[in-house]
């Protein structure tokens, strides 16, 4: 099971080696929430496992002038490093991340966008001259970019471990602009992804999910972490195809503990027993 998933990462490492040609990597982190930190962690583990030389730069540090790309290029120790942008779901027309990412790649000759969901016309953006894009689903994203290579979301490179669950059922439903219209969240819902950023350590995120035997979520990386932990996991749609496409590409073929549902039905509230006095 895991070996089949990791074969895709072997292929990604081979292709990335061909692109970098032993040049070091400037790993660019676009703005994101705690779930995006799971992608970051998986990516850094990937770089380390396959012996890529890299250092990480937070895009907001460049935007807010706490550093410059020129300084980060010098830090790489090479005159023309490759910028590798973290993957994710921001290329969907709902965020300004695509414009920011494209602009920052222009300081480099060669750039890579790691496995991402693509739900927009990338020709509207101006990237580095030598740009390489990987997709993380074999459906809509691959249809938009049929020549792009597929690899699983970088979070699947992780092997999270956590204590045995102490609670029965946990609800982790998003309540932001990607939430499906009309979503009714149950009492006790915990949108943990909003409690951290892309560079927040992932231990607290994993621990929050691991407490539960059964996890319900429409947050992709909560679903991935619960799946990798072996929990009974129920994944629901966000407001576009992302969750379904990644479930069908990377979860359904390998992880029988996880189910995708087209609609979230909130649990019925428990009836309170009033004693007779």
Least confident residue range of 3-12, 29-38, 189-198, 211-220: 3-12
Task: Please report, rounded to a whole number, the percentage of residues in the chain having pLDDT higher than 70.
Answer: 96
Strand-strand pairing, 25-29 and 54-58: parallel
| Better pLDDT: 110 or 1 | 110
Structure tokens at 63: 């935007």
Cα 48 versus chain centre, distance? 18
Tell me the C-alpha distance between 87 and 133, whole Å.
9
pLDDT exceeds 60 at position 50: yes
pLDDT digits 0-9 by tens, 161-181: 998 999 999 999 998 989 999
Distance between start and end Cα atoms, the chain: 59
Fold of 2-157: Rossmann fold (3.40.50)
What are the residue boundaries of the structural domains of the chain, listed by start?
2-157, 167-260
Give the pLDDT of residue 277.
44
pLDDT tier, 2 (very low <50, low <70, confident <90, very high otherwise): very low
**Percent of residues in the chain assigned helix, strand, coil, to nearest 5:** 35, 20, 45
The DSSP-derived string for 96-121 is SHHHHHHHHHTTSSEEEEEEE-B-S-
DSSP reduced 3-state for 22: coil
Provide mean pLDDT across the span 140-157.
98
Between CA 260 and CA 247 the distance in angstroms is 7
Read off the tokens for 127: 């990237």
How many Å apart are CA 261 and CA 171, to the nearest integer? 14
């Amino acid at each position: 099971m895991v070996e089949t998933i990791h074969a895709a990462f072997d292929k990604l490492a081979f292709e990335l080696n061909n692109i970098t040609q032993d040049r070091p990597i400037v790993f660019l982190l676009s703005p994101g929430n705690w779930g995006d930190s799971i992608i970051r962690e998986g990516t850094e583990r990937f770089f380390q496992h396959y012996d890529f030389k890299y250092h990480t730069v937070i895009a907001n540090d460049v935007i807010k002038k706490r550093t410059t790309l020129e300084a980060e290029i010098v830090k790489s120790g090479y005159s023309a490093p490759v910028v590798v942008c973290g993957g994710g779901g921001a290329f969907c027309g709902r965020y300004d991340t695509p414009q920011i990412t494209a602009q920052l790649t222009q300081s480099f000759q060669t750039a890579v966008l790691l496995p991402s969901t693509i739900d927009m016309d990338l020709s509207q953006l101006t990237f580095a001259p030598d740009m390489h894009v990987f997709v993380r689903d074999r459906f809509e994203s691959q249809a938009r970019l049929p020549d792009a290579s597929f690899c699983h979301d970088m979070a699947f490179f992780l092997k999270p471990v956590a204590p045995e669950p102490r609670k029965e059922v946990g609800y982790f439903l998003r309540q932001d602009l990607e939430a499906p219209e009309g979503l009714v969240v149950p009492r006790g819902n915990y949108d943990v992804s909003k409690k951290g950023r892309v560079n927040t350590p992932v231990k607290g995120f994993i621990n929050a999910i691991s407490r539960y035997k059964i996890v319900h979520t429409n947050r992709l990386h909560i679903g991935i972490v619960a799946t990798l932990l072996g929990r009974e996991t129920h994944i629901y749609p966000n407001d576009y195809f992302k969750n379904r496409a990644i479930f069908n590409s990377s979860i359904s073929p390998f992880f029988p503990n996880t189910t995708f549902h087209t609609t979230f039905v909130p649990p019925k509230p428990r009836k309170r027993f009033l004693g007779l006095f």
